[in-house]
């Protein structure tokens, strides 16, 4: 039995190697082009083509950043966009194919699909850690395609935008988006610094249709709460990191002042769910659904789409201190990052989420 299993594994590995070799032969070797070296956020030295024309993104955060910087170089989205999402993008980009993803739960792409897409490079944006470094090294070795890892945290967003702008041959756009990010974060930090500790609300971030998923200490998914000085009830109570599952009993015990979510099913259902009715956020009508299209403003994915969400969430948490023109700020952000300003009806629909869910 052991010998048969071993032979099967060896045969499978040889078949995969032959398949990859055939694909590489068909599409041409990336080493045929002139090369240059870049250092990514993980400190990896990666040899990339001197001119990058075709980019495969490992996950949704990278897709959004590549799209913002150089949409004509993006080979496709990681999933098919919904009609509502496509309505906010120029049609030639909205209709790009769905190519799957290499990272995250239930990854949907494989190395053969990546090679078949004939990218010059693979880009991943998000948390930098051993798991993602190992994946990048493995995929790069298997495909021969350079794989660049970039830090997606707020603190690194400006630098990652500039770095990727240089990689993609659009340094001016990279610098523009980096300067926007720096100005926004500086403004947010300055406003939050003036908020006394006892005026910073306790907030629960509800994920999933039942609202019982959230983010704890160190999670990139709750970075917006942290940046705005909110007291994340999960972070204060659970000695875990990353995204987690919680119980309704825990949420009831935490009794948050504000609940924010990116799940429309939860936002609609919680209004009539008596089990949640005793929570302070419900009693004071402070449950908010973040704007969702073309990409959610709070998370899911945690990429540059969260930048405009900081302004929205600031108004939710501190209405007297974030009293700017969110409508105009949204219009300008979408034009700069998504290459299309929303019309008046779209702005109406987006900002309707700035009011409580009931």
The CATH number linked to 325 is 3.40.50.1980
241-275 burial, b for 16+ CB within 10 Å, e for fewer?
eebbebeeebbeebebbbbbbbbeebbeebeeeee
- My answer on whether 93 and 203 are in the same domain is no
Nearest partner of 154 among 289, 38, 259, 61, judged by Cα: 61
Tokens of 249: 């009993």
- My answer on whether 70 and 207 are in the same domain is no
pLDDT band at 352 (very low <50, low <70, confident <90, very high): confident
Q: What is the mean pLDDT of residues 253-270?
A: 97
Give pLDDT tens digits for 95-151: 999 999 998 777 778 889 999 999 999 999 999 999 999 999 999 999 999 999 999
pLDDT band at 241 (very low <50, low <70, confident <90, very high): low
Residue 320: domain span:
196-354
- My answer on whether 253 and 161 are in the same domain is no
Q: Is residue 358 predicted with pLDDT exceeding 80?
A: no
Choosing from 127, 149, 184, the residue where a domain stops is 184
pTM of the predicted model as reported, rounded to 2 decimal places: 0.89
Q: What is the mean pLDDT of residues 229-235?
A: 93
CA 124 to chain centre: 10
Q: What is the largest CA-CA distance in the chain?
A: 72
Q: Is residue 237 predicted with pLDDT exceeding 80?
A: no
Q: Is residue 246 predicted with pLDDT exceeding 90?
A: yes
- My answer on whether 318 and 180 are in the same domain is no
Cβ proximity of 136 and 121 under 8 Å? no
Integer angstrom CA distances of residue 145 from 105, 115, 118, 161, 202? 23, 8, 9, 21, 45
Instruction: Indicate whether 23 belongs to any domain.
Output: no
pLDDT on residue 306: 98
Q: What is the mean pLDDT of residues 173-186?
A: 98
- My answer on whether 313 and 339 are in the same domain is yes
- My answer on whether 173 and 120 are in the same domain is yes
- My answer on whether 157 and 278 are in the same domain is no
- My answer on whether 137 and 222 are in the same domain is no
pLDDT on residue 355: 55
Q: Is residue 8 predicted with pLDDT exceeding 90?
A: no
pLDDT band at 14 (very low <50, low <70, confident <90, very high): very low
Lateral strand order in the sheet of 55-57: 55-57, 121-126, 147-151
Q: Is residue 27 predicted with pLDDT exceeding 70?
A: no
- My answer on whether 290 and 167 are in the same domain is no
For the chain, how many structural domains are there in total? 2
């Amino acid at each position: 039995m052991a010998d048969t299993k071993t032979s099967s594994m060896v045969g499978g590995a040889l078949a995969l190697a032959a398949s990859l070799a055939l694909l590489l032969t068909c599409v041409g070797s990336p080493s045929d082009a002139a090369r240059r070296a870049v250092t990514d956020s993980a400190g990896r030295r990666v040899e990339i083509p001197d001119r990058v024309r075709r980019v495969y993104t490992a996950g949704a955060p990278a897709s959004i950043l590549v799209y913002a910087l150089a949409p004509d170089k993006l080979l496709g989205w990681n999933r098919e966009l919904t009609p509502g999402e496509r309505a906010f993008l120029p049609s030639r980009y909205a209709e790009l194919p769905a190519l799957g993803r290499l990272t995250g739960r239930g990854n949907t792409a494989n190395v053969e699909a990546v090679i078949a897409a004939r990218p010059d490079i693979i880009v991943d944006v998000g948390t930098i850690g051993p798991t993602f470094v190992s994946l990048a090294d493995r995929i790069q070795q298997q495909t021969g395609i350079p794989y660049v890892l970039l830090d997606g945290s707020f603190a690194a967003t400006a630098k990652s935008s500039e770095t990727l702008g240089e990689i993609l041959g659009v340094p001016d756009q990279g610098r523009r988006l980096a300067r926007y990010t720096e100005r926004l974060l500086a403004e947010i930090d300055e406003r939050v610094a003036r908020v006394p500790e006892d005026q910073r609300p306790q907030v629960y971030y509800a994920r999933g249709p039942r609202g019982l998923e959230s983010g704890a200490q160190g999670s990139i998914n709750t970075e917006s709460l942290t940046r705005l000085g909110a007291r994340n009830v999960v972070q204060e109570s659970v000695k875990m990191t990353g995204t987690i599952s919680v119980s309704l009993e825990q949420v009831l015990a935490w009794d948050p002042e504000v609940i924010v979510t990116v799940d429309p099913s939860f936002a609609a259902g919680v209004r009539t769910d008596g089990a949640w009715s005793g929570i302070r956020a419900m009693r004071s009508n402070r449950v908010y659904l973040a704007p969702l299209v073309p990409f959610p403003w709070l998370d899911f994915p945690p990429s540059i789409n969260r930048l405009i969400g900081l302004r929205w969430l600031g108004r939710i948490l501190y209405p007297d201190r974030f009293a700017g023109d969110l409508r105009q700020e949204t219009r300008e952000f979408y034009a700069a990052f998504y290459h299309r300003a929303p019309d008046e009806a779209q702005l109406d629909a987006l900002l309707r989420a700035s009011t409580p869910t009931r």
